[in-house]
A and B are shown apart, each in its own frame.
Chain A
């Protein structure tokens, strides 16, 4: 019997044929990426961390320790066979808490960047393409936002919104966009002047088409690279809020609040602060290395040197 739908293998073959150029670009990009050991290391760190974040809560030895269990008889144990990273002042397993906090960090990081990129790209695109007064308004607002030193604005906002994960997330999300806004605006200004944009207008493309098909795709590399580097810093910012006590609240685990807690027991019970700090360090490093590698991977004009 003749089938009207081509079998998947031939459809795949046809897709591969239609996208041969993109695939070969991707292969070349992967080649460049793979030749750089540091970006590979970054990729590994991120993949392992992601795996830990997704599956962590199912295999940690003491899941109850993230939900409010207290074992006062077992407090401040140094690292040993049962408690690999030791226990904290309430007898909770530090390993369990560090692992589970990885998931929270990923979730929050993703949401912060998601919101920040949506706001920043939209505003930046408008500012960059329209120019004139809208540009002035948006960019001056961006400047004002960027003048606040680092964590100060999200801190004030989070404190005003109340304690907990959601306010912290919200506060970071709405203060994280200016970097993207400025990046996209600058990129738009650059790409807008390219001949192919005039070319698109010359064949009668609408403004929407010019922006979404011709300009924004060519700013994508910069956005993706910045996002991957930013991820680590978003996690860091969340931890900072936790550290000063206005982020995620115990007993829910968070690297920042764990470090803050451990501070009181330094240097004797060094493990309480050290392990969450180490995880945070590795994660930020991983995303930064990955970001560098992605820049090589995504540039369509880069050649193999």
Chain B
């Protein structure tokens, strides 16, 4: 495993000492070379999770194990070295690039910081990286605001890739882009992965993107994983009501599939209150049935295919029966 998260938790203390568990006891494992999808709606804690991995946000508890080392014990200096290998591409290409730096400076900065190159060699690397992500070398002296959203995201990707990282965290890399541009950026990411042997952690709310790119995925709801496993299992046998609802919301071009038993979620996670006991999804669950749903938090248990795990009493009738 390239990266393993063990029981990672982040508690934000809001004003008035109200605690918000943005990420709640999340464990994931990402094999080298894989594309791991992390899916959730806004407020599910996925961006917080992403930023905890290179410790831009400090976890409250849990372990971040990268190549066998627990990053939580690293000093700021050691972290800076590790950050060469773990890079983030941010969601919003309009705010993630310093408006006062040219493309050349933006893409070259990581090399400067880590003293990997300077002068002509830095210039050469920057220009060749621009070409890699599909930008013209002549555009190197332009400022970010002269580019379109898709081009800016390419700059962000170039900036992340120039240090030859192993793991690329893609925090909703396409959600701020026009639909026509999204596909271009996704294809670029696929192409780069094949050429450079990258491992991706792709964070998104778009299951279509996950299906297109990922090998495995985890669904995050209110900071906790409710279902995870290989992508085929999740799409063919969605076992959590939340997953099913999300899948039903993916527009389909197949007219036969269109009207088939669609389950839709009406409220969002902000408007429904979860008291902290029982299943966190129960207040919105379209399939609530057993008493345990409101009293016992369902564990993330394995289904018949042991890599496919789901946190739902209905999927584990035996477990639920025992604990009621």
Contacts and interface: CB of A to CB of B under 8 A. Distances in A.
Contacts of B143: 21-22, 25, 300
Nearest to B57: A198
Contacts, number: 79
Interface stretch (B28-36, B90-98, B198-206, B231-239): B90-98
B114 interface: yes
Nearest to A218: B100
Contacts of B90: 195, 198-199
Given A204-B80, A218-B100, A18 B88 contact: no
Interface in B45-75: 51, 54, 56
Contacts of A17: 141
B310 to A, nearest CB: 32
Given A21-B146, A204-B80, A206-B80, A199 B141 contact: no
B95 A195 contact: yes
B99 interface: yes
Contacts of A300: 99-100, 143, 145
Interface string A238-249: 000000000000
Given A17-B141, A21-B146, A25-B143, A203 B83 contact: yes
Contact of B83 (A20, A204, A214, A301): A204
Interface in B106-132: 109-110, 113-114
Contacts of A52: none
Contact of B87 (A195, A198, A203): A203
B87 A202 contact: yes
Nearest to A205: B113
B142 interface: yes
Given A20-B141, A202-B56, A204-B113, A195 B100 contact: no
A140 interface: no
Q: Would you call the interface of chain A mostly helix, strand, loop, or mixed?
A: helix
Nearest to B105: A213
B146 A203 contact: no
Contact of B95 (A196, A203, A217): A196
A19 interface: yes
A200 interface: yes
Given A204-B113, A300-B145, A196 B102 contact: no
B141 A203 contact: no
A203 B110 CA distance: 6
Contacts of B84: 204
Size bracket, chain B contacts: 20 to 34
Could you say which of A21, A209, A301 has the most chain B C-beta atoms within 10 Å of its C-beta?
A21
A202 B83 contact: yes
Interface in B142-160: 142-143, 145-146, 156, 159-160
B163 interface: yes
B113 A203 contact: yes
B113 A195 contact: no
Given A20-B141, A203-B159, A204-B114, A218 B102 contact: no
Contacts of A217: 98, 100
Size range of the chain A interface in the assembly: 20 to 34
A218 B83 contact: no
A156 B199 CA distance: 66
A201 interface: yes
Top-7 shortest CB links A-B = A195-B96, A204-B83, A204-B80, A203-B110, A195-B95, A196-B98, A202-B88
Contacts of B156: 199
A25 B141 CA distance: 12
24 contacts: A17-B141, A18-B141, A19-B141, A21-B142, A21-B146, A22-B102, A195-B95, A195-B96, A196-B96, A196-B97, A199-B90, A200-B109, A203-B113, A203-B160, A204-B81, A204-B84, A204-B113, A206-B80, A209-B113, A214-B98, A217-B98, A217-B100, A218-B99, A300-B99
A131 B56 CA distance: 17
A60 B292 CA distance: 95
Contacts of B142: 20-21
Interface in B249-295: none
Contacts of B102: 21-22
A304 B260 CA distance: 51
A199 B163 contact: no
Nearest to A209: B113
A273 to B, nearest CB: 47
Contact of B56 (A198, A206, A213, A301): A198
A213 B238 CA distance: 48
Given A19-B141, A198-B96, A202-B56, 14 more contacts: A21-B146, A22-B143, A195-B91, A195-B92, A195-B95, A196-B99, A200-B109, A202-B83, A204-B114, A205-B109, A213-B101, A218-B100, A300-B100, A300-B145
B111 to A, nearest CB: 10
B141 A21 contact: yes
Given A18-B141, A300-B143, A200 B56 contact: no
A194 interface: yes
